[in-house]
Structure 1
Amino acid sequence: MGRALYAHTILIMTLRPMKIGFLFNHDCIHQVSHTAPIICELVALGQDVTVITSTPAQEAHVRRTIAPCMDRVRFVRIDIGPVSRAINVVAQAVVPFRRIANLRENVDLFRQFDALVVPETTSALLKSHFNLDIRLIYFPHGAGDRSIGFRDVTRFFDLVLLPGTKTRDRMLDRQLIRPGHHAVVGYPKFDTVDMTRRPRLFDNDRPTVLYNPHFDPVLSSWWDMGMDVLEWFARQDDYNLIFAPHVMLFRRRLHTSVEHRRVRLRRMIPERLRNLSHVRIDTGSQNSVDMTYVLAADIYLGDASSQVYEWIARPRPCIFLNSHHARWQGNPSYAHWNMGQVIDSVSELPHALAVAWDRQHEFAPRQQAAFSETFHTVPGETAAHRAAREIVYFLSQDKSRTP
């Protein structure tokens, strides 16, 4: 153990327990695994941890994730009042109204904590609009390249925990984080997954393709290509298909992109495509967020989802659908498209699939380099443990109070 780490550890061991809340305030469960693994590590360091959720599904997912220490953690469920519920019926099509109302209507609860740990940026409203004096700790859910992950709102957080140097360097370049208020710790979600697992989901030996479109009305291939992709796989018998989009795509019918100023109505999937032996359609189950499909498939087909970075933990072919005619070369928001073939139409898909493994030798070194830049790893130590240590050390220094 180095001298700095030794001093760091001794300081942590001598501190009084701090009250730390883990806030999960979303419609779906996909953000939970990015911060929940840190909870047991904080408990092991003697900290007082409360889990705050806004849905039963989130709470259940947290409980599964932290089963070894669950009895030492308090759980609180937050909700909004009847007036906000009525407004949400209309407003949810345009803004995440329920999430915002949950923040505004539970400020008194949040005020009880020394810090809140969150996996999303909507919680910055607690500081920017709701005048809450609290230390906010942010761990991004995912390690992707989309520009929305590098917005000015990041500056409201007192401590930003990051999966690797790629994200850190881009945030530093944008002056979104500052020295003493960020740390590269790794990817806690990986701590919860058996990366050697290979689920068998089909009763044949065909190559399996994972189609994982995003939900963004501009960036996602679903809107202009998705149904054609499903139809093509339905007609052929050379490949299996897992259609597992970002869990938010089928959460609502109307999708609005504030960033790109676009609104689109999602189409329904015909029943005839849901009952095929070689096509599996999953629009939001636990398997969509726990890497089951990432570990089961042979070829990745996607667009803007950060899930591709989980995919390259085991380098395999990638194909990206450029449905919105992006000028992606040299653009950091499309850095992941350098890790595979990029095609502009579904008519190019059969050839791209046919040569995917033959061309993988071109892309494997890029995937390996991208993984190293995206995810910090230390043999014999978990990302969750490093994150917990950084949280306690930061709070002990009270750096967020420094002008």
Structure 2
Amino acid sequence: MSAINRDTVVFLFINGAHHVHHLILPALNFARIQDRYRTVLISGNRANSAIIRKTWQTFDRPDCDFFELPKPFRYWIPNYKHKLFPPPYSYWKRIQKYIRHAAAVVSTSHEAPKYFAQYDINIPSLIYLYHGTGTREYGFDPNLDLFDFLLVPGSYHYRRLQETADIDSSKMQIIGQPKLDWLALMQEYQPMLFKNKNPTFYYNPHWDMGLSSIEKWSKPILEYFTINTQYNLIFAPHPLLQHFKNRNGFIMNFKRPYTANNILIDLNGSAGLDGTYNAASDVYIGDVSSMVTEWVCHRPRPCVFLNSHRIDWKSNPSYESWSCGNVVTQISDLSIALETAAHTNEFQAKQESYVQRMVLRDDKSAAEHSATILFNFLQGK
């Protein structure tokens, strides 16, 4: 990495695998459309590297340089802290001396400006690309203004960043959601997950325990599908729930006694990230994850949202996605909500309206938009 200089653009893949699908095609498109800048991809773990390499091969191997950082020594200890990957902060000290002379660094992490300040990195432009389309306050943090430029998914984020984070329109541009391009390019033959053709429900709780429904609702959901074997259940929480289980003090042990043939439990697999479960399911059960956008973009289908923290959500913009389905607050109302969702989608019109606001979709892919905009931004500096 010693040759990184003002003719280099660096794309950082040092967070979890759930970030990679959003950034890899913008990086590869950037390498493909121009030869003014060298394109460098830096990975922080093997799971990220596997996605990067497979996508690069499928995308006809554009000219770019790829580096996988070695794990910090302590993470060679088996099951060290039971984490799925080393935390990003463990890599910043190592990479800061290489990236500080680049033309630009592109990241999907809100924390990148903090590390630029900590290590006094002031030459590269710092670019942010959203890793999802969430509507929580987190996605509209005024500190996003510390980035030099933002690539945003749609008109909703563009407007709200102006109104609530006071970010000037000159610092951002709408590109769409590059992960949707990745899903279209990379999604392989759909595996048969169950030995039946019954309706399949996909439960995908968020990783943040202060927002997630998993603590209060996981047992009632598993019990419902244990009894109601006319339906299938994919029980696949966000992988960060497994990653942070020690920190949260939450035991992720759901396999017993829930071993029915109609229940698939996956606590840290890739199939929840690569669109496999999305494509295989008929009803989405969730809380605050931006996965709902991918769900509706794949095709509009019923959604059930679990209001486990009894939020007064209707006038709260952080819960904009809940307009896409039935919101359940009482566990006693769960069964009727699931039964209704199995037979009809009463929210299709609202779902289609939601997606139009959340994601730009036109005759050019989001990855192409992002690559072109990034190149033009650098040329105009």
Q: TM-score, normalised by structure 2?
A: 0.89
Query: 2:135 is paired with a residue of what secondary structure?
Result: coil
Query: What residue is the counterpart of 1:390 in the other structure?
Result: 373
Does the 8 A contact of 1:160 with 1:177 survive in 2?
no
Pick one of 177, 182, 185 that aligns with 1:187: 177
1:135 pairs with 117, 121, 125, which one? 125
Structure-2 separation of matches of 1:146 and 1:305: 9
Mapped contact 1:25–1:99 kept (Cα < 8 A):
yes
For residue 288 of structure 1, the aligned residue among 272, 278, 285 is 272
Distance 1:196 1:76 in 2: 26
Identity between Structure 1 and Structure 2 (%): 29
Change (3 A) 1:358 1:207: closer
1:210 aligns with 2:194: no
Do the aligned partners of 2:310 and 2:329 also contact (CA within 8 Å) in 1?
Answer: yes
**Does the alignment pair 1:34 with 2:18?**
no
8 A contact 1:39–1:66 mirrored in 2 = no
Counterpart in 2 of 1:110? 99
Answer whether contact 1:143 1:163 (CA < 8 A) is retained. Answer: yes
Letter of the 1:21 partner, please give it: V
Contact kept? 1:100, 1:122, Cα under 8 Å? no
1:186 match: secondary structure: coil
**Which residues in structure 2 correspond to 1:253-332 (within 5 Å)?**
253-255=245-247, 263-273=248-258, 275-313=259-297, 314-332=299-317
Which of 65, 77, 93 lines up with 2:55 in the alignment? 65
Instruction: Summarize deviations over 1:155-202 as a string: whole Å, max 9, x none.
Output: 111110011111111111123532322110111111122389765421
In 2 relative to 1, CA 335–199 (structure 1 residues): closer, same or farther, beyond 3 Å?
farther
Q: State the 1:345 CA deviation.
A: 2.9
Question: Where does residue 260 of structure 1 map in the other structure?
Answer: none
Note the residue ranges of structure 2 that are not aligned, 5 or more in a row.
1-5
Q: Number of paired residues? A: 368
Distance 1:229 1:76, change over 3 A: same
Aligned amino acid, residue 116 of structure 2: K
SS of corresponding position for 1:254: helix
The Cα RMSD (Å) is 2.6
Paired residue for 2:10?
21
Tell me the equivalent position of 1:11.
none
Q: Aligned in 2, Cα 1:324/1:76: closer, same or farther, shift over 3 Å?
A: same
Distance 2:188 2:253 in 1: 35
1:85–1:98 contact (8 Å) kept in structure 2: no
Q: Of the candidates 225, 228, 241, which is equivalent to residue 233 of structure 2?
A: 241
Cα distance in structure 2, aligned partners of 1:112 and 1:70: 26
Measure the CA separation in 2 of the matches of 1:218 and 1:352.
23
Unaligned runs of 5+ in 1: 1-16, 256-262, 399-403
Q: How do 1:118-157 residues align onto structure 2 when only pairs under 5 Å count?
A: 118-133=107-122, 134-157=124-147
Contact 1:20 1:49 in 2 (8 A): yes
The match for 1:252 is 244
- 2:167 corresponds in structure 1 to 177
2:235 touches 2:265 (CA, 8 Å); kept in 1?
yes
Report if the CA contact (8 A) 2:254-2:265 is conserved. Answer: no
Distance between the aligned counterparts of 1:116 and 1:70, measured in 2?
21
Note if 1:343 corresponds to 2:328. yes
